Structure 1
Amino acid sequence: MKKNFLADRFTREDLVPLEVIEDLANQYEDLINLSFGDSDITTNKNIIKAAFKDAKKGHTHYTKSLGDRELHQEISNYYKEEYDYSVDISEMIVVVGACHGMFLALSAVISPGDEVIIHEPYFTPYKSQVELVRGKAVVIPTYEEDNFEISIDALEKSITTKTKAIIINSPCNPTGHNFSIESILSIAALAKKYNLLILSDEVYSSFCFKEKFIPITTIEDMKERTITINSFSKNFAMTGWRVGYVLAPKYIIQCMNRINEGVCYTAPSISQRAALHALRLRKSAEAEIIKEFKKRMSYSYERLKNIPGISVREPEGTIYLFPSIKGTGLTSEEFCKRLANEAHVLVMPGNMFGHSGEGYIRIACTVEQKKLKVAFDRIEKFIYSNIKAPFI
């Protein structure tokens, strides 16, 4: 049967790398999955207990469309305590995860033909979301030899009369790079010079291993031109709760809210209560998770840097490593397919994150160290068993 009812833009038959990964994930019972960013850590029991206590009290109904007012206040308190930054509850909306927030934000600010600059390698949904709202994604590659730092010269040269916004993601999924303060200040300066909007994905802001994270919205004169997207998924191990938030000028939040009335109206009330308690318990709950991921990342880095054909940068942030596998002579997808089929370890191909991701793989350190050891033992055996061809 012909797919004649699909919108024209969805009739292509391209098999995306994500679908390849999903197929491989179901083939082996002993497979160790290091592909998706969903860890084996369960949400802190005190957060769960408090959220379900609230549910029994009656928090099982719609909240206000912008979100639970108590959660708004906790988010406001968080930014004041952590960054000495004031954000009013009218300048935020609670969303069903960061992807939902980014899509609502782009829907609110991008007109057909507007250009949105994205640094590559990039979180996969960015480009497709820009295109879904009829914008044009303009991709700027970053390179390992530059520590995946964005080139400010290349960024400025990419700005045209049609440029409306820049999406930044720091610490970055997939590279793990945390933009330097110099780069953040330079990006802010360009935004002000050319009257551009910044959409800042700060999902991994708690996972900065070398220096303190600085939200771009806190820089002087940037609040009026910054949309901040954040989530509780990673820093509180709450992926399944599907809850995040967006900070932006009041008029943008109001527009996002109008759009969301026809999408899902509001985030789940029980998830919002969990988010509220997560912020109140963050000194202990978040610290435990960050400590565990730092341990896993450090272990994985030490294992990877000694494997022939693979090179890797010391982790700076996120929960991912982005090693180069160029020394193996295989493409990213070839390497991932063979590793899954021969070693039963699943990782993401780098080309999934844009053309400049080719020659790399993304490893999510989402399992305990004991299991990571088994995974890297298998990777080593896989490499050494093929050491004559094509790896060395």
Structure 2
Amino acid sequence: MRFSPFVERIAGQGVAAWDIHHAAFNAASQGEDIIILSVGDPDFATPSFITDAAVDALQAGDSHYTEIAGRPALREAVAARYSQTLDRPLTADNVIIVPGAQNALFISSLCLLQAGDEVLVLDPMYVTYEATLKASGATLVRVPCSAQSGFRLDPQLLAAAITPRTRAIFFSNPNNPTGVVLNPQELQAIADLAIAHDLWVVVDEVYESLVFDGEYHSLAALPGMARRCIVIGSLSKSHAMTGWRIGWLIAAPQMVTHAETLVLSMLYGLPGFVMEAATAAVLAHDQVTEGMREVYRRRRDLVVAGLSDCPGIRVQAPQAGMFVLVDVRGTGLSSLDFAWRLFREAGVSVLDAAAFGEPAQGFVRLSFTLGEERLVEACRRIVQFVANQPRAVNAASPAFS
């Protein structure tokens, strides 16, 4: 007997990156004192009014099949919010509800790409993008955003990567793992290339509510992008709803109809009570996210301050999100060895950021999704671990310009 080669084909370094997180989770579940900073899962509960909406729906018998594209009230609420943020009218026909941003990415990949196509990705990128895009049979073309530039886009490199086979550009903004938020000039450069070469652009915006520095701008709001840009959103990070598995895809109605055909066979709708909770969350979006953003801003500042004076490592404050990239090249360890040894010797789990792309080689990604007391302890352990490494104090390599 044999298996289909599909799963082996899409597996890659991004999938293996989670090994250390699973090891840490297992150790913590057995009672070991492990501080898990290897996943972006908020440590606080979903706001009670959102949970109450789901409970009320369940108690009212909301446990049957639902509309394939999502409940109209939720789609309309999402459309109303994006009509404001994109400054153009949207309707429910522009929205399809799916189980989280991960499924939205997978759906976009299967709807837009096929074998022989090339898809450009800004590197480093979220670890599951590789598998998600390979599932379509398309070839990934990585456009590096170097550490020396602060992991910012180089439009000339993006333009040089385009070939007659290029079909789409996929990227996250704000970026995971770097926390970089693209500015209007960088977004316009992407839009200009997409229009000139007739490309699709898929933008993962799950962290757009958690921008700490400056104002967020969406690529989809730029002239000429309405018909070719797909925006992916989620409530996982902004509303502490990772386990609810609820997100959406914003696109032209023709793309939404195409996605609905795929979703019919993949999912056959979402739980109604989950969508009732999501509707309550979207209608109170700003009320919830303003508080979340301030919590994460304080945590970011705490972690950056706690690690900035540690010889041998360098850290840059992210503009958005819930992760910090730390340059560990000055320790004399590879980022993979650093991550595993930090876990085994200090009881702190972080991810080897090289799994996100070659530009992040020598960096680790840590989340600030725990309370301040645990974050202070994690920083103390990291500083002590680094101090124990037999490396030259002046060996730290420059991380950012």
If the length of structure 2 is used for normalisation, what is the TM-score? Answer: 0.93
Q: In the alignment, which residue of structure 2 is the partner of 1:69? A: 72
Residue 26 (structure 1) shift: 1.9
Match status 1:44 vs 2:41:
no
Residue 391 (structure 1) shift: 8.8
Q: In the alignment, which residue of structure 2 is the partner of 1:18? A: 18
Aligned ranges 1:1-392 → 2 under 5 Å: 4-11=1-8, 16-27=16-27, 29-388=32-391
If the length of structure 1 is used for normalisation, what is the TM-score? Answer: 0.95
Question: Partners in 2 of 1:110 and 1:125 — Cα distance?
Answer: 16
Question: Partners in 2 of 1:155 and 1:75 — Cα distance?
Answer: 31
Instruction: Tell me whether 280-289 or 347-356 shows the greater mean CA deviation.
Output: 280-289
Question: Partners in 2 of 1:197 and 1:102 — Cα distance?
Answer: 13
| Cα gap change, 1:14 to 1:261, in 2 (>3 Å) | closer
Q: 1:85-140 deviations in whole A, cap 9, x for unaligned?
A: 32121111000000101111111111211110001111011111111111111001
| Partner amino acid, structure 1, of 2:224 | D
Residue 23 (structure 1) shift: 2.2
| Cα gap change, 1:9 to 1:245, in 2 (>3 Å) | closer
Q: Secondary structure at the match of 2:78?
A: helix
Q: In the alignment, which residue of structure 1 is the partner of 2:398? A: none
Residue 60 (structure 1) shift: 2.2
| Partner amino acid, structure 1, of 2:192 | A
Conserved 8 A contact 1:298-1:315: no
Residue 14 (structure 1) shift: 7.3
| Cα gap change, 1:211 to 1:57, in 2 (>3 Å) | same
| Partner amino acid, structure 1, of 2:283 | R
Residue 285 (structure 1) shift: 1.7
Q: Secondary structure at the match of 1:323?
A: strand
Conserved 8 A contact 2:12-2:131: no
Structure 1: 5+ residue stretches without partners? none
Conserved 8 A contact 2:168-2:201: yes
Q: 1:184-221 deviations in whole A, cap 9, x for unaligned?
A: 01100100011000000000011111122122111111
Instruction: Tell me whether 29-38 or 300-309 shows the greater mean CA deviation.
Output: 300-309
Q: 1:235-264 deviations in whole A, cap 9, x for unaligned?
A: 000000000000111121111111111111
Q: How many residues align?
A: 389
| Partner amino acid, structure 2, of 1:21 | H
Question: Partners in 2 of 1:379 and 1:391 — Cα distance?
Answer: 18
Q: 1:343-369 deviations in whole A, cap 9, x for unaligned?
A: 000001011102222100001111001
Question: Partners in 1 of 2:270 and 2:188 — Cα distance?
Answer: 33
| Cα gap change, 1:180 to 1:360, in 2 (>3 Å) | same
Residue 387 (structure 1) shift: 4.7
Question: Partners in 2 of 1:146 and 1:271 — Cα distance?
Answer: 42
Question: Partners in 2 of 1:266 and 1:14 — Cα distance?
Answer: 30
Residue 143 (structure 1) shift: 1.3
Question: Partners in 2 of 1:388 and 1:216 — Cα distance?
Answer: 44
Residue 27 (structure 1) shift: 2.8
Q: Secondary structure at the match of 2:315?
A: coil
Question: Partners in 2 of 1:44 and 1:11 — Cα distance?
Answer: 39
Give the aligned CA root-mean-square deviation in angstroms.
Answer: 1.7
Q: 1:258-286 deviations in whole A, cap 9, x for unaligned?
A: 11111111122222111110112223222
| Cα gap change, 1:389 to 1:25, in 2 (>3 Å) | farther
Question: Partners in 2 of 1:282 and 1:164 — Cα distance?
Answer: 34
Structure 2: 5+ residue stretches without partners? 396-401
Question: Partners in 1 of 2:6 and 2:242 — Cα distance?
Answer: 30
Conserved 8 A contact 1:312-1:322: yes
Conserved 8 A contact 1:329-1:391: no
